[in-house]
């Protein structure tokens, strides 16, 4: 689809208007620091943080660690989504499978997944596998639950129509069920995306030697707080962009769905 | 659902028993080193001993106090922010970008800031939990307050209510079910944040003991604590669900 230039500039103007309180916030922060209202030991000035940020970005420190974190989050999220969609679909299609799996899914769902980090560290050592395993499990559960919900609530009419037109049982998931469950699967994906960042960073803080979580923690321990704030600002920005991209993709892919327009407006916040 | 009338749901029970049996046998058969996977019976034994000597109860009480302290602060602030945002365009303009940025941010990344400002004791953890819980609550409350049926508001207006009483007697009660739903979302967030913060920063509680046990390779304790954390999540969620069904059932479709 073509994007009209005037739409882009209108969107940019709206974005600037929307984000202006952030400028206000930074001005207040600067004022509080320079007037000596808060101890600059505890809160570095925005200019110092910006300088640290520029240094981190130009030195490649951020890029290197961010890449490690994003790699772990993405692999865990990808694997978790695929398995979660499959298990959710199976649960919705087979009463027996559902009966056996429900207590395990229910138990794991309510378990705070970060509790497993020490266990995974014990099993897989310190490094990528531990982080990916933790992210995987955290992403798996929302995907299962949302896919299940989406498939179960597929309108019977759709299934009957497809069957009347000759869709076999094998084709049903890919042709009807998963497509109809798309909005729910995307909701799950968005939740899983949030979890993937949290778990990747938590694992790095607890049991890792690299990654942005470790970087933030190291700066905190060394007392270089301007760098610590800069690294945190980076991760907030990355998480924000990732969330927006998912939302945008969801909006694009679900254009055909009647709830999409209203949903998008509602979740714009 | 006719087959639900069976008193004991056999299949779920079977799968749990099977899982525990496989765990026990795999550990007993030394398929994995006992350090990696102690038998279930050893874990259960350790669990009983931890409860008996009071260490588990103390840790659990401390963690739950932190989680609920943070949850309370976060929910109260979040509901207030959400309601104000739904009533005032200025507040909406002012708060919206922070919510938009803060909602998808991994809150645990802010832990070093909270440690720097509030020390490594309970207060930094409680405030981090509040910070983690506030965003879903603000969004949920805001959406709830914005989607209150116009018909209710118009009816109240035509019956002579003023703005104040419409807010307290129409909009607020109409929001309760959805505020409660966001509260149900915030509870596991609070638990996860508390446990993780304790693991990273220490200072006692379930998470701290869990990570110490792992460092000293006391695997039975690690497993026992994980089992307890799972049960806490399960019990809290089913308690909230039954509360919702009992008192807010009127909102169900």
Residue B37: burial class (beta carbons within 10 Å; 0-12, 13-18, 19+):
buried
Q: Provide the sign of the torsion angle of the four alpha carbons A143, A145, A150, A152, taken in this order.
A: positive
Chain B neighbors of A235, CB-CB under 8 A? 105-106, 109
**Are B112 and A119 inside 8 Å of each other by CB?**
no
pLDDT at residue A179, rounded to an integer: 86
CA distance B69 to chain A (A): 18
CA A244 – CA A193 distance, rounded (Å):
11
How many domains, in total, are found in chain B?
Answer: 1
Residue of B35, B100, B237 with shortest CB distance to A269:
B100
pLDDT at residue A1, rounded to an integer: 45
For residue A181, what are the CA distances in angstroms to A150, A164, B228? 4, 20, 34
**Are A202 and B237 inside 8 Å of each other by CB?**
no
CA B50 – CA B64 distance, rounded (Å):
17
pLDDT at residue A129, rounded to an integer: 92
**Are A122 and B99 inside 8 Å of each other by CB?**
no
Does residue A60 sit in helix, strand or coil? coil
**Are A102 and B225 inside 8 Å of each other by CB?**
no
Residues written for chain B = 253
Residues 6+ apart with CB under 8 A from B225: A115, B50, B56, B59, B206, B209, B210, B213
CA B170 – CA B163 distance, rounded (Å):
10
Ranges under pLDDT 70 in chain B: 1-8, 251-253
CA angle, B54 as apex, B67 and A107 as ends, to 5°? 50
CA A102 – CA A136 distance, rounded (Å):
19
For residue B229, what are the CA distances in angstroms to A104, A182, B138? 15, 32, 27
CA B89 – CA A259 distance, rounded (Å):
26
Residue B34 lies in a domain: no
Neighbours of B147 (CB within 10 A): 13
Do the beta carbons of residue A72 and residue A246 sit within 8 Å?
A: no
Do the beta carbons of residue B228 and residue B206 sit within 8 Å?
A: yes
pLDDT tens for each residue of chain A, 269 residues long: 455 666 667 777 877 887 788 888 888 888 888 887 777 777 888 888 888 888 888 888 888 888 999 999 999 999 999 999 999 999 998 888 888 888 888 888 878 888 888 888 888 888 889 999 999 999 999 999 999 999 998 888 888 888 889 888 888 888 888 888 888 898 899 889 989 999 999 999 888 888 888 888 888 888 888 889 999 999 999 999 999 898 888 888 887 776 555 555 555 44
Residue B33 lies in a domain: no
Residue B10 lies in a domain: no
CA B58 – CA A20 distance, rounded (Å):
47
Q: Which domain holds residue B164?
A: 42-252
**The 3-state secondary structure of B43-82, one letter per residue:** HHHHHHHHHHCCHHHHHHHHHHHHHHHHHHHHHHHHHHHH
- Structural tokens at position B85: 């945002």
For chain B, the C-alpha Rg in angstroms (whole number) is 23
B241 touches chain A (CB under 8 A): no
Residue of A nearest to B15 (CA): A100
CA distance B158 to chain A (A): 29
Element (H or E) spanning A169, and its range?
none
CATH number of the domain within which B176 lies: 1.10.3720.10
What global pTM score does this model have? Answer: 0.85
pLDDT at residue B253, rounded to an integer: 46
> Minimal CA–CA distance to B28: which of B14, B42, B16?
B42
Distance from CA of residue A39 to its chain's centroid? Answer: 34
Residue of B13, B97, B233 with shortest CB distance to A110:
B233
Residue B14 lies in a domain: no
pLDDT at residue B7, rounded to an integer: 62
Residue B178 lies in a domain: yes
Interface test with B, best of A117, A118, A123 (most B CBs within 10 A): A118
Interface of A with B in 121-160 (CB under 8 A): 121-123
pLDDT at residue B81, rounded to an integer: 93
Chain B neighbors of A119, CB-CB under 8 A? 214, 222-223, 226
Where does A111-181 have alpha helices with state H?
Answer: 117-124, 128-152, 156-164, 172, 178-180
Residue B235 lies in a domain: yes
CA A132 – CA B45 distance, rounded (Å):
31
């Amino acid at each position: 689809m073509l994007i009209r230039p005037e739409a882009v500039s209108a969107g940019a103007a709206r974005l600037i208007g929307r984000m202006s309180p952030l400028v206000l916030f930074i001005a207040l922060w600067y004022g509080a620091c320079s007037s000596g209202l808060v101890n600059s030991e505890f809160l570095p000035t925005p200019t110092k943080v910006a300088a640290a940020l520029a240094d981190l970005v130009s030195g490649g420190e951020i890029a290197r660690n961010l890449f490690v974190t994003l790699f772990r989050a993405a692999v865990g999220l990808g694997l978790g989504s695929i398995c979660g969609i499959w298990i959710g679909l199976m649960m919705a299609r087979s009463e027996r499978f559902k009966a056996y799996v429900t207590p395990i899914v229910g138990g794991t769902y309510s378990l705070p997944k970060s509790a497993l980090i020490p266990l995974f560290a014990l099993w897989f050592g310190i490094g990528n596998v531990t982080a990916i395993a933790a992210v995987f499990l955290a992403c798996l559960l929302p995907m299962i639950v949302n896919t299940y919900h989406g498939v179960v609530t597929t309108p019977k009419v759709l299934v009957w129509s497809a069957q009347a037109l000759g869709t076999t049982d094998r084709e049903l998931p890919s042709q009807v069920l998963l497509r109809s469950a798309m909005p729910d699967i995307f909701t799950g994906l968005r939740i899983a995306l949030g979890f993937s960042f949290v778990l990747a960073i938590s694992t790095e803080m607890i049991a890792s030697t690299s990654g942005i979580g470790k970087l933030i923690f190291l700066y905190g321990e060394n007392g270089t707080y301007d760098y610590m704030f800069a690294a945190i600002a980076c991760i907030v920005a990355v998480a924000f962009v990732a969330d927006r991209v998912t939302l945008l993709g969801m909006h694009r892919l679900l254009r055909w769905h009647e709830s999409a327009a209203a949903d998008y407006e509602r979740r714009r916040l | 659902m006719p087959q639900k009338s069976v008193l004991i749901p056999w299949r779920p029970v079977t799968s749990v028993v099977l899982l525990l049996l496989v765990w026990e046998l795999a550990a007993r058969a030394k398929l994995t080193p006992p350090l990696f996977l102690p038998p279930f019976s050893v874990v259960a034994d350790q669990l009983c001993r931890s409860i008996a000597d009071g260490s588990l109860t103390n840790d659990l009480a401390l963690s739950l106090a932190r989680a609920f302290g943070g949850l309370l602060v976060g929910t109260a602030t979040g509901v207030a922010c959400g309601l104000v945002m739904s009533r005032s365009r200025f507040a909406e303009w002012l708060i919206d970008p922070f919510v938009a940025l803060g909602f998808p941010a991994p809150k645990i990344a802010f832990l070093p800031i909270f440690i720097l400002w509030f020390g490594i004791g309970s207060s930094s953890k409680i405030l981090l939990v509040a910070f983690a819980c506030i965003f879903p609550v603000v969004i949920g409350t805001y959406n709830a307050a914005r989607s209150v049926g116009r018909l209710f508001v118009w009816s109240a207006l035509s019956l002579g209510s003023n703005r104040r009483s419409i807010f307290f007697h129409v909009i607020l009660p109409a929001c309760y079910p959805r505020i409660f739903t966001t509260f149900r979302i915030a509870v596991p967030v609070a638990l996860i944040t508390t446990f993780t913060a304790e693991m990273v920063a220490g200072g006692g509680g379930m998470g701290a003991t869990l990570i110490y046990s792992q460092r000293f390779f006391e695997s039975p304790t690690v497993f026992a604590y994980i089992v307890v954390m799972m049960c806490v999540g399960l019990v809290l969620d089913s308690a909230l669900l039954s509360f919702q069904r009992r008192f807010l059932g009127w909102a169900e479709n």
